[in-house]
């Protein structure tokens, strides 16, 4: 496995594309929740529910799953930069766990959502909904950690994911 000094353009592009899709998923999920409730009651999704973002939510979820799998393959083949010099070991360890949790949720959420939808599974729907409540604070902590590293620790961790730099 390579040990790059910087993220590749592909890694950066995948990071921000997935981030944008996740934010969209979290902000327009009311329609799919209503449609899922109708599905569980045997009503099937009506046109209003489909127009309210259900199809987008499903396709976007599948896209997040595919892009996350691609991102993991790229990471396994290319590697990722080590923590910046001067980062306290406890923060570097927290980053490892946070990234593992984020990757886990980026796989867990689409899989549980798709199983819930296509098999009308209330159990997987509940897992998906619980995941949403756990994912939001994890994303907030991830963003806050990047800002702390940038403004408090004054390192290049955030810059590495904002622009490609060949070193």
pLDDT attached to residue 35? 82
pLDDT band at 17 (very low <50, low <70, confident <90, very high): very high
**Paired tokens of 19:** 């981030």
Q: Give percent of the chain with pLDDT exceeding 70.
A: 90
Q: What pLDDT is stored for residue 30 in this prediction?
A: 82
pLDDT for the residue numbered 124 = 98
Query: Quick count: other Cβ atoms within 10 Å of Cβ 135?
Result: 20
Summarised one tens digit per residue, pLDDT across range 49-95 is: 566 678 889 999 999 999 999 999 999 999 988 888 888 899 889 99
CA nearest to 15, candidates 68, 61, 91, 83: 68
Q: Report the mean per-residue pLDDT for the chain.
A: 88
pLDDT value of residue 3: 53
Q: What is the C-alpha to C-alpha distance for residues 42 and 24, in angstroms, rounded to an integer?
A: 28
Q: What is the pLDDT of residue 158?
A: 79
Burial of 42 per CB tally in 10 Å (0-12, 13-18, 19+): exposed
* Token couple for 49: 């529910």
- Residue 42 pLDDT: 80
Please compute the mean of the pLDDT values over residues 93-116 and round it to a whole number.
96
Mean pLDDT of 26-35: 85
């Amino acid at each position: 496995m390579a040990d790059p000094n910087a993220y590749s353009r592909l890694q950066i592009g995948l990071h921000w594309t997935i981030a944008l899709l996740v934010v969209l998923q979290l902000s327009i999920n009311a329609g799919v929740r209503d449609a899922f409730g109708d599905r569980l009651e045997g009503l099937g999704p009506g046109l209003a529910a489909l127009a309210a973002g259900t199809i987008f939510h499903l396709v976007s979820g599948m896209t997040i799953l595919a892009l996350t799998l691609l991102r993991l393959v790229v990471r396994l083949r290319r590697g990722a930069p080590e923590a910046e010099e001067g980062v306290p070991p406890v923060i570097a360890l927290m980053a490892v766990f946070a990234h593992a949790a984020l990757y886990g949720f980026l796989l867990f959420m689409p899989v549980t959502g798709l199983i819930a939808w296509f098999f009308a599974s209330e159990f997987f729907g509940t897992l998906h909904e619980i995941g949403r409540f756990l994912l939001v604070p994890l994303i907030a902590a991830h963003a806050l950690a990047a800002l702390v590293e940038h403004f408090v620790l004054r390192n290049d961790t955030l810059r590495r994911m904002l622009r490609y730099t060949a070193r």
